[in-house]
Chain A
Amino acid sequence: MEWLNIVIRTTFLENMVLAYFLGMCSYLAISRQISAAFGLGLAVIFVETLTVPLNWVLKKYFLDPGALAWLHPAFAQVDVSFLTFLVYIATIASAVQLVEMVVERFFPALYNALGIFLPLITVNCAILGASLFMNERDYTFGESVAFGFGAGLGFFLAIVLLASIRYKIRYSHVVAPLRGLGIAFILTALLGIAFLSFAGIQL
């Protein structure tokens, strides 16, 4: 089960937040409340599972050197890979916009829960990061779906974990200057060390 392997690897071993520090801004800003963290986490899973395979298709049929050959043999020499970043971020921005409109129209309850987090996702580094890692690692289409989902799940897990811990320590006596942001950093570091112990597990 190659796909399951990728999902588990990206969720636990190569966790977007705890191993690569991607998506930190919203991770720290939205983890004050569990319910909000839950909503953002779900939105991230959704958008990542959508955009990573989408960008994979664009890479395969547009961005790779010689990828335009399917249009016309004369394009076989064309290399537009310098547009990679631009295309990826455009895909993400439009996917987020689209998802927002669809959800608003057909699932108003879900929209109310996710609504405010959706636009934030465009500039969530974990999303673009997942697409860029996909770009570097030469996944197949199936693998890119698994990777997108796993990366989203990893973010979901990490943010819900942090929100729960921050909820638990609400009444703890933290040194004043360390309250809020400072302790959140240290908590994330400790979580990251815990996640490191998953390293090397192969399925």
Chain B
Amino acid sequence: MGEVAAAPRKKVSFRQYLTHLTEPVQRMNPITVQILGICSALAVTVKLKPALFMAGAVLFVLVFSNFLISLLRNTIPHRIRMIVELVVISFFVILVDEVLRAFAYDVSKQLSVFVGLIITNCIIMGRLEAFAMGNKPLPSILDGIGNALGYGIILIMIAVVRELLGSGTLLGWQVIPASWYELGYINNGLMVLPPSALLVLGTIVWLHRAWNKQLIDVS
């Protein structure tokens, strides 16, 4: 679970608001630093299109549940806190699922059970517990956007690598020219298989930490 419970501040400058947005994208990235929300993310990164929809769905659910929980934060009985959070998350996830099935049928088929698994995406639960329960609505919205962006950026990076190397396309458009195939280029079959997502993610973590030395695991 997330460990960055920001203490409620008295006076908040615009700059400080902005850090809610920027911190989770890089230094506190939910996936590569906090190890959250990896579960449902990786299986939808074979192609860029479902990854984009997944990122969008998480953005929607995270922002709205952060906002709602933040609004309700003083009324929620402590004992059923987790259940209330789960109900709120499930509520938005069901909304997303219903809308996708009505207006983006092909994408909803590709995402199949992984839309439902947004409920147990630890990023959302983690942010509700660590942030929305103790902060006002506006910072909560910004925090939601920031974390969803941090999540989405990693998702899109993985999907771009996998679709480009695995299928030679991006969003279904042929990117690698046909002439290359004639010269003997072949798509990397490993990239369409599930384990490659972890290889790509491992590499991203490596590059991220090589660039930002503070994040290196000392244990």
**Residues on A close to B: CB < 8 A?**
18-25, 28-29, 32, 82-86, 88-90, 93, 119, 122-129, 132-133, 135-136, 175-183, 185-186, 188-190, 192-193, 196
Contacts and interface: CB of A to CB of B under 8 A. Distances in A.
B199 interface: yes
Interface centre among A24, A29, A126, A175 (most CB of B within 10 A): A24
Given A25-B122, A128-B117, A132-B116, A182 B202 contact: yes
Contact of B216 (A123, A133, A177, A193): A177
Interface stretch (B13-21, B138-146, B160-168, B204-212): B204-212
A182 B120 contact: no
Interface of B: 32, 35-43, 82-83, 86-87, 90-91, 93-94, 97-98, 112-113, 116-117, 119-122, 125, 193-199, 201-202, 205-210, 213, 215-219
B42 A24 contact: yes
A127 B120 contact: yes
Contact of B121 (A119, A125, A133, A178): A125
A20 B199 CA distance: 15
A168 to B, nearest CB: 16
Contact of A175 (B194, B195, B199, B206): B206
Contact of B113 (A89, A122, A129): A129
A171 to B, nearest CB: 13
B116 A85 contact: yes
Contacts of A84: 116
Given A21-B194, A133-B113, A196-B195, A186 B94 contact: no
A94 B68 CA distance: 23
Nearest to A124: B120
Contacts, number: 140
Nearest to B121: A125
A189 B35 CA distance: 16
Given A21-B40, A177-B206, A193-B193, 20 more contacts: A24-B42, A83-B94, A84-B116, A85-B90, A89-B90, A93-B82, A122-B82, A123-B125, A125-B120, A132-B116, A177-B215, A178-B209, A179-B216, A185-B201, A186-B198, A186-B202, A188-B198, A189-B197, A189-B202, A192-B195
Closest 8 CB pairs of A and B: A180-B217, A185-B202, A192-B195, A125-B39, A177-B209, A189-B198, A24-B38, A182-B205
B54 to A, nearest CB: 13
Contact of A25 (B38, B205, B216): B38
Contact of B199 (A83, A123, A132, A186): A186
Contacts of B121: 125
A125 B40 CA distance: 7
A122 B85 CA distance: 12
A128 B119 CA distance: 9
Contacts of A18: 194-195
A18 B119 CA distance: 20
Contacts of B97: 85
Contacts of A129: 39, 113, 117, 120
B206 to A, nearest CB: 5
Contacts of A177: 205-210, 213, 215-216
A23 B202 CA distance: 17
A153 B66 CA distance: 34
26 contacts: A20-B43, A21-B198, A23-B39, A24-B38, A24-B39, A28-B38, A29-B35, A85-B97, A85-B119, A86-B87, A90-B87, A119-B82, A122-B82, A123-B125, A125-B39, A128-B117, A129-B39, A132-B117, A135-B113, A177-B209, A177-B210, A182-B202, A182-B209, A189-B198, A192-B194, A193-B195
